[in-house]
Each structure stands twice: as structure tokens, then as C-alpha cells.
Chains A and B, each alone.
Chain A
Amino acid sequence: MTNPEQLSSHGRRLLDRRCFIGSAGLSTAGLALASLLDGDGLLADDPQTVSGKSPIRPEIDPNNPYASRKSHFETPAKQVLVIYLPGAVSHVDTFDYKPDLIKLHGQKPPGLPEVTFEGPTGNIAKPFWEFKPRGETGKMVSELLPNLAKQVDDFCFFHSLSTDTSAHPQGENFMNTGFTMEGFPSFGSWVTYALGTENKELPAFVAINDPRGLARSGKNNFGNGFLPAAFQGTDFNAKNPPNNLKRPDSLTAKADRKTIDLLTRLNAKHMEKFPGDSSLAGRIASYELAGKMQTSVPDVMELAGETKATLEHYGVEGGSELRGQYARNCILARRLIEKGVRVVQLFNGSDPSGGNGITNWDSHSNILKTHSMQAEIMDQPTAALIADLKQRGLLENTLVVWATEFGRMPFLQSNGTGRDHNPNAFTCFLTGAGVKRGFSFGESDEFGFRAAVDKTSVYDFNATLLHLMGLDHERLTYYHNGLERRLTNVHGHVVKQVLA
């Protein structure tokens, strides 16, 4: 009988593609044909993207989908952390300073529409928080985000973003999948599909969801759409491990081990009848990876080894309970980046109600209270996370994205106490690998109502993110239902001005 130990090491070697080619005695040409004929690869002789550029479809071995793959060109960023803020953060109350709003406070907005997403337009409202110059650049940032404000010299702002929708789920879809419609692969899954991962013991793409639950677009934000399921984000946070990760309580470690040994034997015997069949070998390897994850994921989730100073810095204690939980998620994000996880997507906001009675940044009413609550949760831990990454040198190779789906109106909603959705202008920022520091790109008009200078679409934004990861957004494609699909559909220009 096959010695399980031997098979185990063989299985491990299967993870290394070159080694497998050697052991199975196949030529590389044969393998290329294999992957070509296997599934969607068998296409027209000379496929073209709509832009006319030839696509670069990463060669995925379906049985080792996470193998590390080369980027299209060299860039500093090897990993990416996306901090996503569902609900739409008010740009005019945070980073986009508009003194005209103070001047015109309480007046009818000149030349602006009568009706927006939720109803009639109210009067202009000055920022709910005072703005002050910050850092050496003197960037104006409001009092709402005192901790992030301290780091503006490191940030690269996009002030002229505009989107195609003023509804949250479509807006989240657009930011995170490049389409307003349902069912498209997320940014994280595109990057994972393109680049695979370095760390073989942790998932390539982790989605750290808000302690309160998933955002409005749910799984879409980190889903694989029509890409293979291997590229979806694995959903866990500092509190909840991935589904079914833990050995069931009803089993002892010994019993579990013995089941795995038996499984290994059964698979080895079965494999004898299918020599050289890579899909069987690949499945054996996936069980070994799962076994490793059972140790590596709890390890990375374990925050006990973090110093008291770190915990304080992130604000684990001393704030609201939600801030504490979000702060733990931020520490987890850093630990994942440290371990070389390719994509980490960290959410600050959810959909279902819970916590303080608010769930995200969607402040249609009482923005003073609700944005304050959100900011209390988000500001200190996020600022600490970015500072911590910087201090550990991780920003050298990590791109950090701080993003939301649209902005909020410069006027009140129906003269109430909140601001309605504003798809015409909003602000996001980047920092880290490959990005200019202390820089602001684009401007909205004098009210912050509409993108005015260097208008930037969501396609442009996503094209730029891919570029920073060393990927050509026009060439990174996946054939689906008649098209070489891209994150940026048929649009998007890289914003070269923000590149360091």
C-alpha cells in the first residue's frame, strides 16, 4: 500500500507546477494545450479586446489556481489593502473643503436640481465640522477625522470622482466590480486571478467584513462573479473565522487526523488508476492547503501577541464597542498584509441594523450625529492601521485604497438634518506603494456638487488601481459569454498624475 506520508509529500510537491510536470512526464507544450482546451480557453485564433489590444489572460492551472503569477509590468505594489466605507461618506464634511458653502449657508442652491435621489432639494448647508489646515501641505481637513487628518501628507486624494448611479447597491457594485449590474467579478478577485499569491498557507484574498455584517451589495463586493470560485474573497474577521474552518467540536484531534489519513490512502489508491491526471492531484493538494489553513488562519487571527501599545494605538479599548471590534479588524488586516496575503478588503459599515442603531455612512438625516458615530468607529483605527503599515515598512509594497461609493449633497435633504446622495462628485484617497504623497488630484465645483477639474470616472479610478498593481486594465481579461471581459468594461484611463 502507498505510504500516506509519501503521498503527502508528493501532494505538497504538486503545489509546485514545475515539479509536477517533471514527475508526470508531460511536456510543457502538452500542458499549454491542456489549459487551452480545458474550458473557456479554446477561443478564436486572435482574440482581441474591444480596445484592440491583445488580452493577457493569466494562465491558470485549475488545480493550482493560487500559484504566484507575474504582473504585466514592474511596479512597487505587490499587495493591496482596500478600506471600503459603505453608505457614502460626505466629501464636503471631510476632505473636500468648500468655503462657498459657508458663505451661502441657508440659501437656495443656485442652478442645482430640484429633486435628488430621495426627494426635493433643500438649502445649502455649510460643513457640519470645522476645517483646518493640516500637515506640511496644509491640506484642509475637517474636525470629523482628527486622526486621519494628521497623516494627510502621505495621502493622495481624488476630489473629482463621479459615478453613474445614486443608489447604494449599484454604487457599491460599480466601485468594487466595475459594473452597476449584478454578477461581475470584484476588484480583489481580478487581482487574485491575475497575480495569484505568495503565501501558500493563507487565502489569497481576504474580505474582512464589518462587525455588523455585510454591506449592501453583500457578497458582490468580494465575489468572483463569473471567474472561477477559487478567486472569491474568503470572508472572515477578527471575531468570526471562515466558515467550517474549525475541526468540529464533536471530533477529537486524533479522530480527525485518522479520517484524513484514511482519505489520503483512498485517494492514493484511486490515483493509481489515473496516472498523470492533474485534476485529481490538484484536489489532493487543496486538502493539504485546507489543513494548513486550519493552523495558519487561527494564528493570524490571534491578537494576544500584540503589544499593549499597539492595542492602544488602534483604539481597541476606550471607545465604543464597535470601534473596538473594528480596531481588531484593522489589526487583523495588518497581520494579513504582513503575511503576504495579496488582497485584503476591510469594510467599515454594513447593511443590517445593529450596533448603535446606525449601520454605515448613509446620513440622510441627523448627519451630525450619524457621521460622528461612524467617524468615531473608523478614524482612529484606520489611521493607526496606515501608520502601522508605514512604520513596519509595509507601505513600500502595499497599495492602500480608502473608498466609498459616492458623495453627499452640499445642501440639505428636504431642509431636514441630513444630506442626500451625490453621484456627481466625491472623494477617495490612496496611499502607499507607487502613489504620490501629499497630493490632491482633481477638483469639484465651488459647492462640491459636481466634478469640475480633471473629472475622474470610476473606470478611471479602477484602471489606476490596476495600473498601480502592475496590470494593464485593457489587457487583463477573462472570456465570458462572448466578450473578453475587463474590470473597466470598455472604458477607463489611468490617472498618470497620481503615480509616484
Chain B
Amino acid sequence: MSVRPLLRRFLPAALPTILLGAVAAAPAPLPPPVPAAQTPAPKTRAPDSTDLPPYVSPDGETKGSPHRGGTLRLTADAGAGTADPQINYISEMIQLTANVYDGLTTFSKHPGDASNVPVADLAEALPPPEDGGLTYTFRLRPGIRFSNGHVLDVNDVVASFQRIFKVNSPTAGGFYGGIVGAAACLKDSAHCTLAGGVVGDEKAGTITFHLTHPDAEFFDKLAFPHAYILPADTPPHDLGNDAPPGTGPYRIASYDPNRQMIVDRNPFFHVWSAEAQPDGYVDRMVYSFGLSDEAETTATINGDFDYMYDNVPLDRYGELGDTVPDQVHINPVYATYYLPLNTHLPPFNNLKARWAINYAVNRRAMQTFMGGPAVADVLCQTVPKGLPGHEPFCPYTKGADFQHPAKQWTAPDLALARKLVEESGTKGMHVTLVVPNRAVEIAMGTDLQNTLRRIGYDADVKPIAFAIQFTYIQNTNNNVQISINDWFADYPEPSDFLTALFGCENFHPGSDSSPNISGFCDPTFQDLIHRAALTSVTDKAAGNKLWAEADRRLAEEAPTVPLIQFRKIELVSKRLGNFYTTNLYHLLFSQAWVK
């Protein structure tokens, strides 16, 4: 679907408002309908020159295709951190390594919402849970080789899971802490064996996982990049710029984070599952680093690059809509902006003060700052649209309350917010809003400052460096009352928002790594998320109902102000064909055509 009308209609109109920063808190008109998913159902016949994306090869093969070959030219502002896939947590690298590495499972590489589902990758099939969800036995596919020629075997799998702990992978505790033996590995990573937790049987070609508690998201976690399978002899330390061999259709041939990365074909790759890891079309990828987002945009329009990783700057939206609408794609991502409210500090240790700001915030303004309704949806609850457990629910809009919630947010209710502030006894208190020093967040912060002042607080905004804002607002020692934060899902499950951001287990006072920024710990909510996780192991639908209930409980306790859910605007060159995205990895590089 062309985005010309959308960009033309909404984005240029939004710009003057953004520049002036003068978004009134008055009720705004309803947004025009948001575009449906950009990607139609995949076609599986042989491609021809008139094909529109997405084309998915039925057997995952690209040999013999007229589109096979060429070099895909990618650009990003900066390098993507370490090339060690078990440590890197940057989406720029994760997007690329989806074409280089495999796990026992992976998220389907089919377009759109089909990509939310974990499927078997290096494992032959997704095994049924045993022992009430405490044991899973995977059988490894035979005949798969790494890009160095080494044949994949069960020892590689066992060693890769040990390595997650040996290299202190970011998610070692969060995602893989439920494996038997993980607790000992977290304490003494150098001598990690995961004895009794990950058991390989070379003869049978199986790997058995034993968990300390049932985990409905175990397949999702195995599909996450930190659980990619590497050769058993991969050194147990951060590999820096030297990417280890993988099993996917490509390999990272060289990497210099200040200049470029060269990716070429894995000579030992063959297709074993079209859905898990299809073969790639282009022969080579060159990822160049160092241009600003403005320069990336210009260079991509000029055809110097085929794809830019960074977000297109807001001031270019109108130009793109006018000049290259067919090269622009708007795609959903599971990402939100929200305001964590510190439930341990005044005024937001008071429930009525938290309700007040939830009623007062003009979410439409936040949507406008992000680029308008084509790019963002207003959000009234923590679980974003598109995820299981999302049931539309909004008590914080004009004319609604907890007994009579609306389905969606329409306008702020400043009168009610002022009344609640009066009743809370917090009127006149000083409130500092901490925002990252980027244009969008500063614009949001200025509007929120006005809102806080209008409901009776003495508010100011404190912008701090983007690089440290996220860790700064997490640490209770910095006494942050309220802040702006964004959050991207690691995988498409509600727990990645509810448990990760508001579970008691993720509140660590005095630490820079305490993603429960609100310090929220509510027994009722905690019980709900535990029951939801447990129920989901055997009954996904019933589990989703409980996640939705937990989402509503969170709204009632209001340790957060959900603002917007946004999409990613992706700009590609004129020559790039078969553009399609998966929900977690954006444009799937292996399926793009440049011929």
C-alpha cells in the first residue's frame, strides 16, 4: 500500500504544531483511521518482475531466482556494538544477525503477525512440555554446518547455553535464570556447567532442558538472539569485533564499528526450514556507519544506500511523502512511550496524584510530537495493541472512570485531575520530569510540564544525556519522581511489558539496572502475573485473560502513565524489491531484492 496519502495528509500538517510546541490540552478531534498492516498475505508462486511484496519462496530456496545476487547497501549512524551475538542487545545488530545465526527455536520469518510465533529452527520440532512444563527435550536437525564448516552437534548447544552465563549475557538472569543450575552459574559464571539443567545426549542427538518452574515463554526465550547456537569452542569472553561462525545463510566477514561491516554468504548453508531460516537473495551486504540521520535520509533518497536503519527525522516526513512515497513503509513495532511514576516519592506515592496525571495528560499531543496518527496511536494501557492480553480499556479519558471505562482515549479531563490533586493534598508540590535530551522527548516534556502546572504542581523539566537517561531514572538514589521512557518488546508477549516493567522481582533499589522504575510492588498484581504465566503454559487463551486482568489492575494502581504506541517509518532505495518486515526484526535483509 502506498503511504503517499497518509504522509501528505498527516505529517506535514503536524509539523507546524511540533515546531511551535503549542499543543493545547483541549480535546482534539478524533484521529483519522490508522493504516492497516502494510503487508498483504504472502504469495508462494515463483516470482516475476511484476510481483509486489511480500514474496515468500515456498521451499525457502533462492537458487535459480532472477532476483538472486547483488549487494545490499545499508547505512546507520553508528556501529552496532559488540559482534558477539550472546552479548549484543542493540536492535541494529539483532536485525542483521537474524540472517546469520539460529537458535533451537526462532520467530517465524514470514511477514507481519505470522512472525510473532516461535517455530522450530535448529531443533526438528517444538517439543511438548513434560513434567508439568518443567522439562523439554529437543531433537537436533542433522547435517547443519557452521560457516567455518564445523558440523553442529549437541555439544555446541550445551556449550552455547553455558556461554550465556560465562560471558555475563544481559539476559542471563532474566531469560535463562529458570534453567536448573542457572543460579550457580550467575554466582560463579566462569565455572558454569548448568549441570542437570541442559543435558545433551550425543547418541540420540537430543538436548533436554530442566526448568525450576514452568515457563510459558520458554520457546520465545530460546528464539531470542542471546540463545543463538555457536560452536562449542567459541571463547568464553566478549568477542568484540570478531563475529563467531553461525549457521544462517550469511556470515559476518569483517566488522569495524566506526566504518563498515561486510556480510557475505555462508558457503555451508542449506535450507532446512523455509519458515525458520530461508536462503538469502543478495550475495553480499555492506553496512556503512557514520552518517547522521539527515544525511542517511538524503543518501537513501539519492540511491546511494538501499536501507537506512535509523529513524527518519521528523522534519523530512513531508518531503518523503511528496517525493518518494513509494520508497517509504510504515510498519508496526511493539514499542511504547510511558511515564514511570515513582511510587515511593511524593507526590506520586499518593494514588490520587497518580490518577490525576493519568486524567490530565494530553495523549493526542504526544502522538503529534511523534509525527501524527500515521506514526503513533494513543495508548491508555500498558500492554500495546497487537500483543496477546491486550483488551482495549481506558478509564482515564473524559467521561470515563473505573466502573465505566471507555474502549479508547479521546480527551484529557483537567477538571477531574485538578480535583484529584486537591483531594490528594499534594497541590503545590515541586515535580521534576526527567527526559532524554532528544527533540521529541523534550517537546513531550515541555507539554507535560504545562499539564503538571495546570493541575496544580510546581513543575520543571530536566533533560539529560540520552546515553545515561535510562540508567539514571532507574536508580532510586537519584530520586527521580517522574520521567519519560520508551520500551521495546524483546518478544511479543505481555509479560515483556507487565512483568519486566512492574514486577516486584525487577525492582532493585540503588541499582542502575532496575527496570521497574516506578518501584511498584503490589501483591494483587504480582499474584495475577504469576497466575497468568503459569496458566499460559497449558492454556494460552486463559492465560491471556489473566494478563488482561493484570493490565487493568495496573491501570487502577497507576504506577505509570501510558502515552503512545508507535510505528517505524522505513525508507528504502528505489531499486530495493520484496520489502517485507517481521514484527521483531523489521526488514528481513535476506529476503530483500536488489536485482
A binds B: no
